[in-house]
Copies of this chain bind each other. A is one copy, B any other.
Amino acid sequence: MRATILLKNCSWVITMNPREPIIKGASIYVEDGIPSVVKDRVEADIVINGKGKAVLPGLINAHTHAPMSLFRGLAEDLPLERWLREKIWPLEAKLKPRDCYVGARLSILEMLKTGTVGFVDMYWFSREILKAATEAGIRALITYGMLDLGDAERRERSLKDAKEFIEYGRKLGEERVGVGLGPHAPYTCSREMLEAVRDLADKEKVPIHIHVAETRHEQAEFEKKYGMREVEYLAKIGFLGEDVSIAHGVWLTRREIRELAEYDVKVVHCPISNLKVAVGGIAPVVEMIKSGVSVALGTDGAASNNSLDMFETMKIAALLQKHHHWNPAILNATTVLSMTIHGGSRILGRDMRIDGEAKCDIVTLDLRRPHMTPVHSGETLINHMVYSSRGSDVREVIIDGQLVVYNGKVLTMVEEEVLKEAQDTAEDIIRR
């Protein structure tokens, strides 16, 4: 039984509940992971002063590669091909399981401190990432990274390992941390592999996460080789479904967007990574939303971002669409906040809103800061969330009813230890 928590006299509550989206002046009582708005006096095991703070459902980072934080800042300002071939792939070839644990802990520390309550991951040594997430008390979907580049032996080994990973995760039995399959992309996984992944996902009832239509070059090469576009191809081979989330989705046609909507495929927009990698275009976020596609936001790995602050990602997501459409009104702050919270939580299999009924992870933000001043109204507070606030404004994080961050400090990890381990490990990888 978790301790009950009272966030007392919060200045503002953003519920993300359409019935009463914003409440001025209220306390939030959390029991069994369910936050309720309370106006009377309530007793609780833990009481936290909410004065000068805003409470809202936590943010979801729906696409990242957590261990890549070890490569932060290491390989910059290079063309994508050279970045991968000369820097990232040689580094990844040196990685040991323990490195991925250490790197995942570094990323989880950053995410928790910046108000991210859950993340979707795809990388190597997934058990280590799973372990790091489980220990830290964050919500996560850890998908098992796999690719075969047409090599049958590699494919079989990947599929066998992925199956074992799913069993391992199930045995761990931590409801907060789900497991899934992470075939890298349609251009790095053979048709046989994608079909086998689809079968395995159906059999094991686990979600799939995959990169799709990220760069202009990839799009052109794929069409040349397969005679069709990536989403068309995935639809044709029976890969798509409501359990599939695709990262990026930059190079999509209207027809492909309709297909994504039809199959209820979730899309994770990663605006900062897209700019940094120079994918050559801007994802059709507005068009996807209009067509009924559920869109989430992600940071991508720290090597291509380089931070994991979802407040920053929200701002840039909103601004890029305004720019792209020559229209400042095209995508408003409420929609972007909803993408981040609801779009992301749909991939994690849990809807997030403060309604006194559902489980919901929540965060508090300090409003007594110059960039959050003045607050004119509840509506303008939503604008602050997207356009002014940043991860460093986060004071508390409560995940599944557990107080994980208090007054900006992560309670489930020794911060200095995580930073030191990460520095030492990064130096060690370079030396190897």
Contact = CB atoms under 8 A, between A and B. Distances in A.
Contacts of A80: 328
Contact of A423 (B323, B375, B418, B422): B375
Contact of A73 (B107, B277, B383): B383
- Chain A interface helix/strand/loop/mixed: helix
B278 A325 contact: yes
A387 B328 contact: no
Contacts of A323: 274-275, 278-280, 282
B110 A371 contact: yes
B392 A333 contact: no
B76 A383 contact: yes
A289 interface: no
A76, A282, A384, A419: most-surrounded residue (chain B CB, <10 A): A76
Contact of A388 (B73, B316, B368, B419): B73
Interface stretch (A140-148, A176-184, A189-197, A302-310): A302-310
Contacts of A219: none
B368 A276 contact: no
Contacts of A415: 370
A38 interface: no
A76 B333 contact: yes
Contact of A316 (B74, B316, B369, B416): B316
Interface of A: 69-70, 72-74, 76-80, 83, 106-107, 109-110, 113, 216, 272, 274-280, 282, 302, 305-309, 312, 316, 319-320, 322-323, 325-329, 331-333, 368-371, 373-376, 380-381, 383-384, 387-388, 390-392, 415-416, 418-419, 422-423, 425-427, 430
10 contacts: A79-B327, A106-B370, A278-B323, A278-B327, A306-B387, A308-B371, A368-B419, A374-B425, A374-B427, A390-B392
